[in-house]
Structure 1
Amino acid sequence: MTDRSEDLYSKFLFIWVGQFISIIGTGLTIFSLGVYVYQQTNTASSYVFILICALLPPMLLKPYGGILADRHDRRLMMVFGDLGATLGLLFIFLMMLNGDIELWHIYLGIAISSIFSAFQEPAYKAMVTDLLPENLYAKASGLMQLASSAQYLISPFLAGILLSVIDIKFIFLIDITTLLISSSIVIWVRNILGSIATKHSGQNMMADLKEGIQEFSRNGGVVHLVITTMLVLFFVGLLQSLIIPMLLNLATVKIVGISQSICASGIILGSLFIGLFGSKHKHVIILSISLFMSGIFFVGIGSSTNIILITLAGFMFFATLPFINTSIEVLIRKNIENRKQGRVWSIISLVTYLGSIIAFAVAGFLADHIFNPLLQADGLLAGTVGSFIGVGDGRGIALIFIISGAMISLISLFIWQDKKIKGLEDVVT
């Protein structure tokens, strides 16, 4: 790296550390509130509604958050998002402090915080293009994925310890503190490097949104890649929603928890590798190979009833995800005009995560009414498929995983042959 690149990368690392801390804080809040609400109501629906309040608002608002990220200084947008998120946390904290907390207070507070995340995340992702040269995109992407994984691996572990020694109200104060630290770092970096001028046509937001859709759709390779990603996320969504029910038929809750933590650590391993060494090879090739291998490991998750073998397959599956995500991000980033990246990334997120939403909607029906009955002792597939993967509760889910893994490997072969996706590699920025 040149001296200039090293200086910019060091500034990015400061911002990344702040975001890493704030993501852990957010994870502490979500986990702690989930435990609190479930203990108060003993209903899964109350817990699920927390996730809906946390995920739905930013998903719907991201396109508009992306437009604002293209109209304004992206680092200021990050500060706006982080500081705004503290409002919802303060609301819940004050309600608990007064002893008047009700479920709707919690849901409203989470929704308020998540609304502001819709403005922070697109700005954070687009800020990388502002700050770093192309040869550092892959490293930055790997580190950003590492930070994102902390919410699922580090936060639950820390929250479990903290809740045993402090009241849940103090969790909110910790989260608020992490957001303030993150915002302070971004402001400090902005003061050193100066603001970045933004250019836009003066159009209204709907016109900007239309322009973002046009920018996304004008490149056939990007469209192919995003649709392919949506299909992959559908199958990954089936894993996310059904892995716990399958494992609970094979092991105790404690063992299942340990297994999940080990599997999630695969993401950290892959992200650290990319963060330390970058990605110096053809991204389409890396994407195809990583997807193919992830499909094989996905099949492995469903093929065994041995929790150790399942955990090993899960670890390897999750270790491939950072390579997949980084390759996709770099290929798209190289092919989207910088001034439009905020809104385009938001549209891409909305499209790709439709796959996960559809998976969550159909997973329960597929498992309970189609696949699990087929692999009961008297099921239609008990004597055929069941002789290889076993019969009984949860083995229908295992068959879903095997089919899903095979489909992901097939998708990787499609990417390998797709000329439009391959063409994304040749763009020089």
Structure 2
Amino acid sequence: RPARGEGGGSLWREAGDGFRYVRRRAGLLGLLSVFGVNNFLFGIASIAITPLVLSFADPARLGLQMGIGGAGLLLGGLAVTATGGPRRRIHGVLGGSLLAGLAIAAHGLAPSFALVTAAGFAMFAVLPAISAANDSIWQRKVPAELQGRCFAIQRLLSEAAMPLGYCLAGPLAEHLFEPLLAPGGALAATAGPLIGTGPGRGIGLMFIVLGLLMAAAAMAAYSIRAIRQVEQLPDAVAGPAPTAPAPTPATTTNREPA
């Protein structure tokens, strides 16, 4: 506990301690980067899903699609609880991120309610595995006295990345992607025959780009040895403070009294 007069900076010092611990371990720093990228891209997708579905379905079907996605989240959580998740936790984080990215990309392939619903279910089903595996790695590799600080760093990154995604979703959809696939747009003659043109198809293209970026980030992380082998870091096991060594025979006197 800081002495009186030192408490003003203790919060920043403690946050700094947590970040320095992460920064000195490239694997954990890489995981933190993947976490931030995922949250940023997911933030954009979570806002854009409503106009995407409404471009070819009514509000009732939008509600059904979201409900089925929630069921995927529930079932994914139950599966992780029952099985414990992947034995190699890093596969849960990066493999799950890869699958989630592909599921996000699948949202934009066609204006199909069945496709978007299945893709949403698959995406939400893998999120519990990603979260559980990520938390497990951090709990094992970060000392107990630093875990609160390190998880707070993740929370801060999430609360910064997702709102940024929320803010960018509308401008990206309206001013960049939708004009590209409007009739006569820059990509109407190339991407148009593959995913269609008209209202909502630009948002579909945005989902494809978001998903491929998430998948690419996961594959890039797999290619970095420090991240791929983060579980080989020594486990941070909290234990009692070391005690002073017992005196050796050379420093003791055991002579009998005269």
Which bin holds the TM-score, normalised by the shorter protein?
A: 0.7 to 0.9
- What amino acid sits opposite 1:319 in the alignment? A
Q: Does 1:292 align with 2:118?
A: no
Q: What corresponds to 1:230 in structure 2? A: 36
Give the whole-Å Cα distance in 2 for the aligned partners of 1:325 and 1:264.
Answer: 16
Give the whole-Å Cα distance in 2 for the aligned partners of 1:298 and 1:241.
Answer: 13
Which of 60, 78, 81 pairs up with 1:272? 78
| Cα root mean square deviation, aligned | 1.7
- What amino acid sits opposite 1:321 in the alignment? L
Conserved? CA contact 1:294–1:320, under 8 Å:
yes
Conserved? CA contact 2:138–2:147, under 8 Å:
no
Give the whole-Å Cα distance in 2 for the aligned partners of 1:263 and 1:397.
Answer: 19
Q: Which runs of 4+ in 1 moved over 6 A?
A: none
More RCO (CA 8 Å, sep 6+)? 2
Which of 172, 183, 192 pairs up with 1:386? 192
Residues 254-298 of structure 1: per-residue CA shift (max 9 Å, x gap): 111111110121111111111122135111123222222212211
Give the whole-Å Cα distance in 2 for the aligned partners of 1:280 and 1:373.
Answer: 42
Q: What corresponds to 2:161 in structure 1? A: 355
Higher deviation after alignment, 294-303 or 206-215: 206-215
SS at match of 1:319: helix
Q: What corresponds to 2:246 in structure 1? A: none
Higher deviation after alignment, 268-277 or 346-355: 346-355
Q: Kindly report which structure 2 residues correspond to 1:116-195, keeping only aligned pairs within 5 A, or say none.
A: none
- What amino acid sits opposite 2:58 in the alignment? T
Q: Kindly report which structure 2 residues correspond to 1:23-42, keeping only aligned pairs within 5 A, or say none.
A: none
- What amino acid sits opposite 1:369 in the alignment? H
What is the total number of aligned residue pairs between the two structures? Answer: 230
Give the whole-Å Cα distance in 1 for the aligned partners of 2:93 and 2:15.
Answer: 29
Give the whole-Å Cα distance in 2 for the aligned partners of 1:264 and 1:246.
Answer: 18
Change (3 A) 1:298 1:347: same
Conserved? CA contact 2:34–2:218, under 8 Å:
no
Conserved? CA contact 1:367–1:397, under 8 Å:
yes
Q: What corresponds to 2:171 in structure 1? A: 365
Structure 1: gaps of 5 or more residues = 1-199
- Structure number with greater Rg is 2
- What amino acid sits opposite 1:299 in the alignment? A
Give the whole-Å Cα distance in 1 for the aligned partners of 2:118 and 2:173.
Answer: 23
**TM-score for both structures, normalised by structure 1:** 0.51
Conserved? CA contact 1:226–1:352, under 8 Å:
no
Conserved? CA contact 2:86–2:92, under 8 Å:
no
Q: 1:381 deviation in Å?
A: 1.1
Identity %: 27
Give the whole-Å Cα distance in 1 for the aligned partners of 2:84 and 2:114.
Answer: 31
- Report which of the two has the higher share of helix: 1
SS at match of 1:303: coil
- What amino acid sits opposite 1:301 in the alignment? H
Change (3 A) 1:304 1:213: same
Residues 57-79 of structure 1: per-residue CA shift (max 9 Å, x gap): xxxxxxxxxxxxxxxxxxxxxxx
Which of 380, 384, 408 pairs up with 2:214? 408
Q: 1:333 deviation in Å?
A: 1.6
